[in-house]
Chains A and B, each alone.
Chain A
């Protein structure tokens, strides 16, 4: 039986005003169901590009991405929208909440796209907010919430559609350490209690302790894959290089 996520020889080449930029250069790895995978690497190593490709926001120039035995790179735009709506959930560094809507309405958004009836989606959105500890902030607008709370609303939005894969791109990048910790605790709970597969992209090396496995990217390639117990070696290697 194949892995839940299979990334095979993925290349992403951009043409930036005539300059060829290779964001990914043959990245390959697998992710098992229920795994909490960290992806670390310096800026420009291709972490976010990789996440966008796995999440169906972007297409690889070459290579193959298979999620739950479906080749993502072969899906049409319409199918990719469905994939983003039903299979994956995104959490971004900038939260990306829509300011004019309340926390509850922001969380309802993926269900609106899916055509879920109003009452049901409201119930599910409230459940998702309660799951991230914000049941009492449902009717607040983003500007009435702290950064940590906004990110937890974004997590609630990502999980409200019961996705199979959660993709987090620098989710603590804009948060203070306390808020970052509370957000990471939510990820941990989702992974441990609900068995949600998570891929976390970060350059914050302190977060690797939440992960079952860590991929180190450099120059668009998978430099090395670390298992629990090998993180000290990775940290000393990476910090040593700095």
Chain B
């Protein structure tokens, strides 16, 4: 028998039982829409999360924290690692900003201006500055958005050129007055490790070590690998070179760990959504079993005129395949349409389901496979019917 003949016979049979067929197709559509959207939302969340993480925590960087402090000698060691492009130190200190309206706690961050984009996850210094300059020197500082404007109302509180008086408690408590050379754009909350960049004041390290700190040590060193592919190797060498009190942290490793978690979550979502596919497969099994009973005599006729057992088996499997193919393709099309309409707010991101080619393939293949397996038993029963008994069946 030819493939086109199986299709013709299967379609004719399904058309005759159109109510049952429509029910089964609808079942497949609903299950596929649920599966596609669940996997699509999971995929979308994973992509958004990874992008955000990579943007925030440079994927080719390794962070070394130390409460005691890391020295210029440590920095030199890190810079000498073969696959390292550069390394820079950052020191941050919690200070009090003296304001006519009161005292506010902010973070004073000592960092070379050129490393600010790397540290804050922006592409360039121009992208960081809302107003003024980024060329910090002496007591000229860049202030975060929460410092120069009211976080609630957005009202501008400070301008470029104005002074800022802060209280520092490193060693002997003292007051220092900075002047503002630049106003930073809002970065959206906690992006840099261990601090809120919007509630920070950025100062040039030389000024910090001259006027505020006694010892030239860094709380944090960021080692930048030549390529994100080298991060794993560089991390091992950094660990070997770091003093015992240092904690080494790789954003790439963290991103991978979170990605594994999100993938697991996506798999669970997929498995839960697959319950629908299982229910549909049971429906197809039930429908096929009834069909075999109702068409027992017809099977006898087909066998009497020369249809082989294999032909009967494939005929029933073809019916299940037709239901599954129509249902799953329609389901994926509906899921794609819905994904373009529906937006889901999750953890501050607005997600839409991303129906990737692999999700499409899985959403089509899974119901086909499940329904073929479900219809195998009734199809085998039909194929093994004795023709004489089948012809006599009332």
Contacts and interface: CB of A to CB of B under 8 A. Distances in A.
Interface string B154-180: 000000000000000000000000000
A98 interface: yes
A57 B301 contact: no
B152 to A, nearest CB: 73
Given A112-B1, A112-B9, A90 B388 contact: no
Interface stretch (B52-60, B218-226, B306-314, B328-336): B306-314
Interface string A65-91: 000000000000110011011100010
Interface residues of B, number: 26
B306 A110 contact: yes
B391 A96 contact: yes
A92 B308 contact: no
A171 interface: no
Most buried by A among B15, B311, B391: B391
Interface in B306-361: 306-311
B5 A98 contact: no
A161 interface: yes
Q: Interface SS of chain B: helix, strand, loop or mixed?
A: helix
Contact of B388 (A52, A109, A112, A115): A52
B83 interface: no
Interface string A51-62: 010010110000
B302 interface: yes
B365 interface: no
Nearest to A52: B388
Given A81-B303, A113-B308, A58 B16 contact: no
B12 A101 contact: yes
Contacts of B94: none
B305 interface: yes
B2 A100 contact: no
A77 B309 contact: yes
B304 A57 contact: yes
A161 B304 CA distance: 13
B296 to A, nearest CB: 12
Given A100-B16, A112-B1, A113-B1, A86 B301 contact: no
Contact of A115 (B2, B9, B12): B2
Most buried by A among B297, B300, B306: B306
Nearest to A79: B308
A116 to B, nearest CB: 9
B12 A84 contact: no
A114 B388 CA distance: 21
A199 to B, nearest CB: 15
Given A58-B388, A96-B301, A113 B16 contact: no
Nearest to B306: A85
Interface of A: 52, 55, 57-58, 77-78, 81-82, 84-86, 90, 92, 96, 98, 100-101, 109-110, 112-115, 118, 157-158, 161
CB-CB nearest 8 A-B residue pairs:
A85-B306, A81-B308, A113-B306, A110-B305, A96-B301, A100-B16, A113-B307, A84-B306
Interface of B: 1-2, 4-5, 9, 12-13, 15-16, 297-298, 300-311, 387-388, 391
Given A81-B308, A109-B302, 20 more contacts: A57-B304, A77-B309, A81-B306, A84-B303, A85-B305, A86-B306, A90-B304, A90-B305, A92-B391, A96-B300, A98-B298, A100-B16, A101-B12, A110-B305, A110-B306, A112-B5, A112-B9, A113-B302, A113-B306, A115-B5
